[in-house]
Structure 1
Amino acid sequence: MSFCFPTKQLALLLTCGLSWSGVLAQTTPTTLPTEAQKVAQSVRPEAIQAHMRYLADDKLRGRKPGTPGYEMAAQYVEEQFRKLNFQPIGEKGTYRQAVPLRKGQVKESGSSMALVRDGRQFPLVYGRNFILSPNFNAPTSEVEAPIVFVGFGISAPELGYDDYAKVDVKGKIVACFNGAPTVFPSNQRAYYSSAKQEMAVAHGAVGVLMFSLPTDIRMRIEMAGPRARQAVYRWVDKQGQAQRTFPDLKAAAVLSDSTARSLFTGTAKSFEEAMAVAHRSMPQGFPLNSSVRIRTQTELNDDLIGENVMGVLPGSDPALKNEYVVYVSHLDHLGVGRPVKGDSIYNGAHDNASGVAINLEAARLFASLPKAPRRSIIFVGVTGEEMGLLGSDYFASNPTIPQDKIVANLCLDMPFFFHPLLDIVPYGAQHSSMIREVQAAANFVGVQIADDPIPEQAVFMRSDHFSFVRQGIPAIYVKSGSQTGNPQLDGTKLNLDWRATIYHSPQDEIDQPFDYNAAAKHVQLQFLIGYLTAQADQRPVWNEGDFFGTKFGKRKEVK
C-alpha cells in the first residue's frame, strides 16, 4: 500500500533511518537504580516491529470487537503475558474481562426534525441538514421545545466563563458551537469540548443541537456524517442500564452549516456576529426565533460482548503489592469497512497496534527485572476504544481489583513515531505529582518535554487514560512532540497530514515509514515512568486545586 504523505516529506521520512543502532547510546542519570537502567537499555526495537506486524496483518481483519480477528489479537496478547509469567488478573482466574455492550442505531426512516417558526413547520432532510444520535433510554423519543443559543455550551466558572449565565434553558433545546474557547488551557479545552450534553442536562435542557464554526472543517456534517450515522455502543452495568447516557435529553443532533445559519434568522445576533464572539472566546447566550420538533427512533440490541485482556506482575513489597500501576493500550480497530484505494481492511497499524506493541515490550522489561517493583504492574489490552473508550471505561469503573488500589494509569495510543523522538507531550503530567517520574524518565531517554502542539484536536479526551481520570486516578498519556531534527521537516504538519490522509483509513498499514528507534524510546519512557511510580513510598496525588482532581473528586485515602 502506498503512503499518502507528500512526496518530499516521504523522502525525508525514509532518510530518518530505520536501523536500530544507536538507540541505546544514552547518558544514564545516577538517580535511577542501576538495575532499572540496565533493563531499560535492553529494549528491542525489532520486537516492537514484530508485534505490530502480527497485530496489523490482514488476517486479523482490522481487529473489530466481537470478530474472529479481534479474538486472534486477544489470544496473541494473552500468549505474550504467559511467556512473560504475568499472572491472570481477569474474571474467574482468566486473562479476560467481559465487557457487555449495547448497540444503538438510529432508524432514519422513523426519525425526523422540523423547525417551527411563526406557526409554520420547515421539515429538514436527514443526512443533509441534520444527523441524530441514538437514544439509549427510549426506542422512540419525541420532543418539541424553543431553541436557545448558548455559545460553546460551556459553564466553566473556575475559568471565568459561562455561556449559561444569562439565559434560562429549562425545558428548552440548546444550540451551540462544537469545540471550546481557544483561551482555555489545552486539557480543559479538550474536556469542555466533549461535555456539551452533560452541561445541557445540568441546566435543565431537554435537547442539544450542535454545529461547527465554519473554520472547523473536520467537524462539518459533510466530513463527519458517514461515521456519525453508524451505530453507537455503550457499556451496560449489572442492572442492565446503558452507561454514559443522559436520560433527561430527549434528542441530540448535529446540524449542517446552512441549517445552523438558518436558526439565526431574525434573532438578536446574526450567525456571523455570534461566530465573531466565539472567536474572541467570550461567553454568550440568547433565545433563537424558532422551536424544533424532533422524533428519534432507535433500534437497541445487546448483541455484543467485548473483552479486555489483562495480566499482572505481582509486586515485591508485602504491603505495596496490593496497589497497582495499570497500563492500557487499545487492542481494537475498525474492522472491515468502506473501500479506500481498493482496500477495505482497516488494519490500524499505528492506531493502535503500535501502542499495544510498545506496552508489550515494556511488560517484557518489567519481567526482566531481577526483582519485581514494590507495587504490582497490570497491563490491559482494552476493547471498544474506537467505540468511545468503552473497554477502558468499563475496567476503570468495574476493575477486577479494588478500584481504590489503582494508584496510576499509563496509556499509549498511536504515539506517532515517524521521525526521531526528540521531545514528548506527556498529557496529564501537569495535573499530578507524576510529573516527577515523567521528568526523570525523559532525562534518561534524552527527550525534552513540550506543550501540546495541536490543542484543537482535544487529544486529552480521546484515549483510554481519560477513563481513569474520570475515576479520580492520575494518568499519563505520552505522545511524540514536534521536533524532528530536520529543519525541512515540520513535525506538527507531519502529524496533521497523517491525521488528514491516513488516520482511520485502510492505509494505516505496517508498511508506513515507522522509526522503530523512536518507538524503543517510547518503551523506555513507559517502563521508567511506571517503574518509578511503583517504587515510590507514596502513591501519586493530584496537584492542590487541580481542575481534574477537583472535578472528579478525591478518592478514599488508603488506610
Structure 2
Amino acid sequence: MRFSTSLSFTVFVSLFGINPLLAQNDAIPADIQRVSKTARPEAIRAAMRFLADDALEGRKPGTRGFALAANYMQAQLEALGMQPAGENNTYRQAVPLRRWQVRESKSSLTLLSKDREQPLTYGKQFILNPTPDHANGDVTAPVVFVGYGVSAPELGYDDYAGIDVKGKIVAYVNGAPSTFPSNQRAYFSSAKAEIAVAHGAVGVLAFSLPTDLRNRIETAAPRARQGIYRWLDKQGKPQRTFPALQGAGSLSDSTARLLFANSPTSFTSAISAAMKNHPQAFPLNISVRMQTQTDVVEDVAGQNVIALLPGSDPVLKNEYIVFVAHLDHLGIGRPVKGDSIYNGAHDDASGVAINLETARLFASLPKAPRRSILFVGVTGEEMGLLGSDYFASNPTVPKDKIVANLALDMPFFFHPLLDIVPYGAEHSSLHKEVKQAASLLGMEISPDPIPEQTVFMRSDHFSFVRQGIPALFIKSGSQTGNPNLDGTKLNLDWRAMIYHTPQDDMNQPFDFNAATKHVQLQFLIGYLVAQADQRPTWNKDDFFGTKFGKGTVIK
C-alpha cells in the first residue's frame, strides 16, 4: 500500500524525533552557529549570475562555456585557500567521455509471428538505444512480458518468479510498484536492464502505462536521437553498459499493444495488474528482431574540479566528506520562445553557488574541522551522472576513506525554506546530523512529496550510494508559509514548464534568503559529520546499505 502523506510524515517523525523543532543542539557550538549566520545571499546570486550567463553558452562538457565554469569554480576555491585535490597536484580530474548514436537507416525492429513479419517505423512506433559494446547489435528472440521488470524479493515482489527468460527479449512497463518506499521505487524504476541481464535476457523493450504522459515516444525520440554518453576506463572500455544485451528499445503505447496480439493475457488485463502492483510474467507468443547499428560520434574531454580543506585531527584528517554539485548543463539546443541557450540557473548553477558559499564558511573557521572536506564540481551529470560516477569509482583520495557525501542539485528555493526533504537520510546514521541542523534552523523534515518523479536516482549523490558511501540529497519541502501557495504544485509546474528549457535562467523569482538557509544547512550537517568520533554508518538491514554498503552497516 502506498503511504499516505500523513502516514509518511508519521514515519519521518518517528525516525527524526517527535518534533524536529524541539531537538537539542548541544553538539553545535555557539561559534559554529555564528559562522553559519554569515552566509551571504548576495554571494549566491552573484555566483549563479556568472555561471548562468549567456556567455557560458549552457556549460556543456567539452565546450568553452564549461571550461569557463570550471575555471571560475577553481579560482573561487583557490582564493579561499583550498588545496588542489585532483590529479597530479592540480584542481582537475580528467573524465574521458564518449558519445554513441544509433544509425537509424541501418537499424530496425520487426515483429515476427507465425504467419507474418511486421516492420515498425523508427521514431513513431519505436526507438532504439545505442549498444556501445556492439557496433552491430542483431538479436532475434521470443518476447516475454515481465510486468514492471522488477525483481525485489526483499520487498516481497518479483516479476521474474517462475519464468525463464534466458536467451529471450523481455518487455516491461516503465516505473515500479507504487507500494515500494520512495527511494526503492526510484532505484527499481532505473535498474531494469541490470535485472534483465541478471536473469539471462538478451534484449529489452520498455513501454509506459497509458496514463504516463512523461515517457511518450514523441517526447523521448528527440532526446534519444542525441545518443548516449558513457565514461571510459583506463583501457578505453565504456562503463555502466550491459554487454549481454544485444538490443534495447522503447515502444509507443499502440505498438506495445501489438505485442499482446497472440498472448493469452490481454494488454488491458496486464496493465490492470501492473497498476494494482501484482507481479506477473508470461510469454507473449511473438518474437522480435532488433537490429541496431551504433556509431561512435565523438569523444569529450570531461573534467571534474576538486579542492580540499585538510582536517585538523591527526587521525581523522585522513577521512573525507565530499560536497558535490554539477557544473554542466545542456549547452545550446532547440530554441524555445526565441532562446536557444540552456543556461541551467537552477539546474545546477544554484548548487555550485551554494557549495561555494559553504566552502567559504568552512574556510572562515578559526580551526578546520576534524575530518577533511572535499568540494567537487562534476561534469556530465546531465549525461547520466557521469562525472560523479567517475569520481566515486576513481576518487583522488582513498575510496574507503570517503565517509559521506552531500550533493546539491536544484534545491528549489522559490519560496521560504520552512521544511526539507532529505533524500537518503532515512538510510543511514546521517539522519542524526540532519535532525540537529534542521532543528537549529527551525526547519521541519518532510517525506518525498513527488515519489513518482524517482528523485532519489536522478542526481550525483547516487553515484556515492552505489559505492557504499552514505549520502544526502536535500531539497526544499512543500511548505511555503502562504496558504494560497501550494509548494508541491509550484515544484511540479516548474518541472513541467521550465526544467531543461532555456527559461531556466536568472529571470526567475528566486528566494535567495531561502538559498542562504541551504548554505547553513549544508555547512552545519557537514561540520557535525566532520566532528563526530565515528564515521556514518548504514542503518541495520537497510536496503541500500545491504546492497552497496560493503561493511559499513550497523550490526
User: Smaller-chain TM-score range?
Assistant: over 0.9
Residue identity matched to 1:72: L
How high is the sequence identity, in percent, across the aligned residues? Answer: 70
User: Which residue in 2 is equivalent to 1:18?
Assistant: none
Give the number of equivalent residue pairs. Answer: 532
Q: Runs of at least 4 residues of structure 1 off by over 2 A?
A: 26-31
2:319 to 305, 318, 323: 323
Structure 1 range deviating more: 302-311 or 490-499? 302-311
Q: Is the 8 A contact 2:422 2:475 kept in 1?
A: yes
User: Which residue in 1 is equivalent to 2:205?
Assistant: 209
Equivalent residues in 2 for 1:364-379, closer than 5 Å: 364-379=360-375
User: Which residue in 2 is equivalent to 1:245?
Assistant: 241
1:394 paired to 2:394: no
Residue identity matched to 2:120: L
User: Which residue in 2 is equivalent to 1:9?
Assistant: none
Equivalent residues in 2 for 1:431-442, closer than 5 Å: 431-442=427-438
TM-superposed deviation, 1:555: 4.4
1:501 paired to 2:497: yes
Name the CA distance, whole Å, in 1 between partners of 2:228 and 2:551.
31
TM-superposed deviation, 1:290: 0.9
User: Which residue in 1 is equivalent to 2:190?
Assistant: 194
TM-superposed deviation, 1:277: 0.6
Q: Is the 8 A contact 2:23 2:435 kept in 1?
A: no
1:66 paired to 2:62: yes
User: Which residue in 2 is equivalent to 1:482?
Assistant: 478
The alignment partner of 2:214 has SS state of helix
2:51 to 48, 55, 59: 55
User: Which residue in 2 is equivalent to 1:16?
Assistant: none
1:297 paired to 2:293: yes
Name the CA distance, whole Å, in 2 between partners of 1:220 and 1:445.
42
1:337 paired to 2:333: yes
**Superimposed CA distance per residue, residues 174-206 of structure 1 (whole angstroms, 9 cap, x where no aligned partner):** 000000000000000000000000000000000
Q: Is the 8 A contact 2:545 2:552 kept in 1?
A: no
User: Which residue in 2 is equivalent to 1:541?
Assistant: 537
Q: CA RMSD in A?
A: 1.3
User: Which residue in 1 is equivalent to 2:31?
Assistant: 35
TM-superposed deviation, 1:556: 7.4
TM-score normalised to the size of structure 2?
Answer: 0.95
**Superimposed CA distance per residue, residues 352-376 of structure 1 (whole angstroms, 9 cap, x where no aligned partner):** 0000000100000000111000000
Q: Is the 8 A contact 1:107 1:297 kept in 2?
A: yes
Q: Is the 8 A contact 1:404 1:556 kept in 2?
A: no
2:84 to 78, 85, 88: 88
1:170 paired to 2:153: no
Name the CA distance, whole Å, in 2 between partners of 1:86 and 1:77.
11
User: Which residue in 1 is equivalent to 2:510?
Assistant: 514
TM-superposed deviation, 1:289: 2.3
The alignment partner of 1:386 has SS state of coil
Q: Is the 8 A contact 1:183 1:281 kept in 2?
A: yes
1:101 paired to 2:97: yes
Name the CA distance, whole Å, in 2 between partners of 1:35 and 1:246.
51
The alignment partner of 2:517 has SS state of helix
Equivalent residues in 2 for 1:195-274, closer than 5 Å: 195-274=191-270
The alignment partner of 1:36 has SS state of helix
Name the CA distance, whole Å, in 2 between partners of 1:198 and 1:280.
24
1:45 paired to 2:44: no
Name the CA distance, whole Å, in 2 between partners of 1:289 and 1:302.
40
Q: Is the 8 A contact 1:28 1:37 kept in 2?
A: no
Q: Is the 8 A contact 2:469 2:549 kept in 1?
A: no
User: Which residue in 2 is equivalent to 1:314?
Assistant: 310
The alignment partner of 1:122 has SS state of strand
TM-superposed deviation, 1:214: 1.0
**Superimposed CA distance per residue, residues 528-559 of structure 1 (whole angstroms, 9 cap, x where no aligned partner):** 111100000000000011000111141479xx
**Superimposed CA distance per residue, residues 362-406 of structure 1 (whole angstroms, 9 cap, x where no aligned partner):** 000000111000000000000000000000000000000100000
User: Which residue in 1 is equivalent to 2:444?
Assistant: 448
TM-superposed deviation, 1:27: 12
The alignment partner of 2:193 has SS state of helix
TM-superposed deviation, 1:470: 0.1
Name the CA distance, whole Å, in 1 between partners of 2:301 and 2:388.
14
The alignment partner of 1:219 has SS state of coil
TM-superposed deviation, 1:166: 2.2
User: Which residue in 2 is equivalent to 1:117?
Assistant: 113
Residue identity matched to 2:327: L
Name the CA distance, whole Å, in 2 between partners of 1:484 and 1:179.
30
**Superimposed CA distance per residue, residues 243-278 of structure 1 (whole angstroms, 9 cap, x where no aligned partner):** 000000000001101000111113121111111111
